Amino acid sequence: PSEIALLTRLVTLSLADNTLSGGLIPEIGQLIALTELRLDDNQLTGNIPTTIGLLTSLQKCQLDENSFTGSLPVELGNMTELRTLDVSGNSLTGLIPESLANPPKLGVDPDTCLLTAISRPTTNAFLAPVPPAVVAICHAIVPGLPAPPTPPSMPPPPPPPPPPKPPSLPPPSSPPSPPPPAQTIADTAIFQACLAATSTCTSLVLTGRSLTGAIPTSIGLLTELRDLDLTGNLISGTIPATIGFMAQLERAALSQNSLTGPIPTEFGLCTALRGIVLYDNLITGAIPPEISTLTKLETLQLARNSIAGSIPPFGSLTLMRTLEMNSNLLTGCLPAGIGAMTALTKIELSQNSLSCALPSQLGLATSLRTVNFDSNFMTGVLPSTIGQLAHLRDWRAQRNSFSGYLPSELGHMSSLEQFVMDFNSLTGPLPSELGHMTMLNQLQLSFNGLTGTLDPLLPCPALRKMSIDHNSITGGVPIAWTATLTHLELSTNPLVGMLPPEISMFTELKVLKVDDCMLTGAIPSEIALLTRLVTLSLADNTLSGGLIPEIGQLIALTELRLDDNQLTGNIPTTIGLLTSLQKCQLDENSFTGSLPVELGNMTELRTLDVSGNSLTGLIPESLANPPKLGVDPDTCLLTAISRPTTNAFLAPVPPAVVAICHAIVPGLPAPPTPPSMPPPPPPPPPPKPPSLPPPSSPPSPPPPAQTIADTAIFQACLAATSTCTSLVLTGRSLTGAIPTSIGLLTELRDLDLTGNLISGTIPATIGFMAQLERAALSQNSLTGPIPTEFGLCTALRGIVLYDNLITGAIPPEISTLTKLETLQLARNSIAGSIPPFGSLTLMRTLEMNSNLLTGCLPAGIGAMTALTKIELSQNSLSCALPSQLGLATSLRTVNFDSNFMTGVLPSTIGQLAHLRDWRAQRNSFSGYLPSELGHMSSLEQFVMDFNSLTGPLPSELGHMTMLNQLQLSFNGLTGTLDPLLPCPALRKMSIDHNSITGGVPIAWTATLTHLELSTNPLVGMLPPEISMFTELKVLKVDDCMLTGAIPSEIALL
């Protein structure tokens, strides 16, 4: 429909693999936000309109396999962002325009510019000559010119069987009808046809059909098969060894299923294999060494399984281009043979347990464009040979244990765009060569031990994002970077001097964080020119002067942190103009005067802290206006909770404000306070930076590492154990183990060692600290189990151990800590089952994601009535959810993503009336969605992709007034989409790869931004009324049974 042109915010328009007819509407040029256009495999006719050249943001354009005529428009050359163009399989004629060589990224990757087909007869009849610049990037067969060699021809896959007739919906008073019988691979007409003609069957493609059961062993009879694609089904069981009989097989794509067991060694018999794609399954065991013998292999994708063992020596795979094995259990070293893989463009090995130093031979893999070693245990110094990777664009190796200086040879990586090495043990000054890298746009080196100044990074002309917080960088804040800088994060470094007024030149800046430094002077008024700023965080410095009235010009601001400075004067009334502000912290300054009434205009405000100032006057009633302020505990503090306050507000306090904010006012009873804890001693002065050696001299050795026991704060605590109640040593790059003598601090209430390089185990002597209320040891390299002695710390309210290397099970003694409110154990290697936490009735936050937990969610979860957040994603939990989960009625966030949970969703979850976010994708949940979901009146996101859900959608979903995101892709759902109407708040809906029937309804809210319905047997025309979705950015209705013309109204999107 032409009305589609009204969707002017559309980013993705994908209508491929249907039977659409008519022409491509000229109004298509109005979709100026479009980055992806897929209309391939339809019956479109006529000329390609010249207005297509107006789509200057378009990156992917697929118009192949239609019946377009005429010549290619010269205006295609105006699409400067174009990376992929396919117009093959049409009836185009005429000269190929030279302007096709204009888009700089077109044809950079192989087979991404196809003017005629590679492996099948073409119907396009272009005229010679082809411009030489186009020949270099595009595939085009033109009469009178020699054709490039083509691979063996593979017939297209047989057409899919007709969609099953949807089951009729029962009347409301009847029980739901049983789901339709599941279909296996062996049941499909395509597979049966292949078995009947094994000598001619070369392609078996059964993607996204919700097929169940195992891969039949009879698949080995298809000895001529070249392409096997079973992606995105519900297939279980092991990969049969009979796959070894398929000697002609070139591609085995079995991803996004529930396959178990090891990768069969018989893959080694398939000597023609060019691609093995097994990601998103439940595969175990080691990678068979036989894979190393497949010398034609170009792609090996094994991501997100449970594959263990070491990486085989892949040096013989010289044609390999893509190696993806992230999110597994791989151990050992990166083999030196990686250097022989000279065609390799991508290595993705993040989230494994790889160790050792990187081999110097890595620098020989000179075709590399992307490297990702994130979240492993790699050690040693970066080899200087990586400077030979001149084509590398993206290097990621955060959350490892790399050490030593950054090599100066980094400067030779002339194509490098991203360099990310947060959370390592890097030391020494920044190499000056970084400043001359003309393509570098993202530099992340947070949480290391780097020294020296920031001057070596100048000018870095393409830099957009820089994070070097939590190091030991000295000097001032330079301002000679490019004006396109968007993120600047320098917190927790001993930086000195003033924030320069010239910072206003960074007009694209969105995030500015310079917390916990040693800045002085006033906040420059020029900062108000940064009108795109979203986060401004200058806390924990010694800034003086007033809060500038111009602050009200930062209308995009969502977070403002100026706490713990020496700011004076009134809080300006213009602060009320910050209507997007969500977090405002002005505490621990010397502000005077009264609170401005205009604070009530900040309707998005969730957190406000003005405690620890010298404010007076009446508290304005308008503070009760922001609907989200004070929803969470201790997020509206007008006076301090646990320390003396200097604010002297006058009574009375408006009752609506009393309900949400903490305020001590003379003449009114004060709320109870926890035991007083003195503030931590001030940090020691920063070490004097080492002087940089002359260029001809070798670098000076890094400063000696400091341990906890070396710090003046710890020594002072040991000298006064009876009065030391707080030990805070965050982000200081401390090394070594936690000393056992810490147990002598028997009066300690707050222990915070976050963001260091501490190793070793947590000492059992922590059990002597009976007054301890908070143990924050996250973002270190702690190993060993959680000590059972934590159970002796009966005053504990928070245990925070995320981002370490902790192993073993969760000790049952944790269940005895009845005051515990927070337990954060995420991103470790903790195994075993979850203890019965039912006695922890004060628990609010439970985060144990990205571990190795097994077993069931305990039924005692229902007794945790204060619990607001459960985060258990990326574990190996199984069983059905207990019905008692519905008793945890304070829950706001639940995340069970990427586990092995089974069974039907219990109807009791309908009792979670405060729940906002439910995520449980990539599990094995089955059965119907319960109608009780409609009782979850606060639900905003419901995400259950990649499960085995069946049956029709419950009509109650359509009446959920807060639901804005619904994701149910890759299930076995049936019926129509009508039960989802009207869903008034819906913005994103993905129900692709199911068995939904009927047409595309248009009665949802006009604020819909994402609509993904692909691979469902939907019928009828794309309605012109789709143009009402003026906020739409993504529209995907591929692989359905739509008919009729594309409405011209689509150009309004």
691 pLDDT higher than 60: no
Q: What is the pLDDT of residue 146?
A: 47
Q: What is the pLDDT of residue 122?
A: 61
Cα distance from N-terminal residue to C-terminal residue, the chain: 11
Tell me how far apart the alpha carbons of residues 45 and 22 are, in angstroms, rounded to a whole number: 6
- Mean pLDDT of the 645-654 span: 87
Q: What is the pLDDT of residue 697?
A: 45
Q: What is the pLDDT of residue 689?
A: 41
- 779-804: per-residue pLDDT in tens? 999 999 999 999 999 999 999 999 99
172 pLDDT higher than 50: no
Predicted confidence band of residue 158 (pLDDT cuts 50, 70, 90): very low
Tell me how far apart the alpha carbons of residues 16 and 332 are, in angstroms, rounded to a whole number: 44
Place of tokens 């354009």: 61
Per-residue DSSP letter, 184: B
Q: What is the pLDDT of residue 178?
A: 56
Predicted confidence band of residue 963 (pLDDT cuts 50, 70, 90): very high
Place of tokens 């009808």: 177
Predicted confidence band of residue 703 (pLDDT cuts 50, 70, 90): low
Interacting residues of 280 by C-beta distance below 8 A, sequence separation 6+ = 255, 256, 257, 303, 304, 305, 922, 946
1049 pLDDT higher than 90: no
- Mean pLDDT of the 758-766 span: 94
- 283-327: per-residue pLDDT in tens? 999 999 999 999 999 999 999 999 999 999 998 999 999 999 999
Tell me how far apart the alpha carbons of residues 360 and 949 are, in angstroms, rounded to a whole number: 49
- 542-560: per-residue pLDDT in tens? 999 999 999 999 999 999 9
738 pLDDT higher than 50: yes
Tell me how far apart the alpha carbons of residues 708 and 758 are, in angstroms, rounded to a whole number: 9
Helices and strands per DSSP (H, E), number in the chain? 4, 64
Contact 264, 287 (CB under 8 A): no
5 pLDDT higher than 90: no
- Mean pLDDT of the 85-108 span: 89
Question: Mean pLDDT for the chain?
Answer: 89
Q: What is the pLDDT of residue 989?
A: 92
Q: What is the pLDDT of residue 133?
A: 85
600 pLDDT higher than 80: yes
757 pLDDT higher than 60: yes
Dihedral angle, C-alpha 925, 927, 932, 933, nearest 10 °:
50
Nearest to 452 by CA among 634, 168, 688: 688
Q: Which helix (H) or strand (E) holds 196?
A: helix 189-196
For residue 580, report the phi and psi dihedrals to the nearest 5 degrees.
Answer: -95, -5
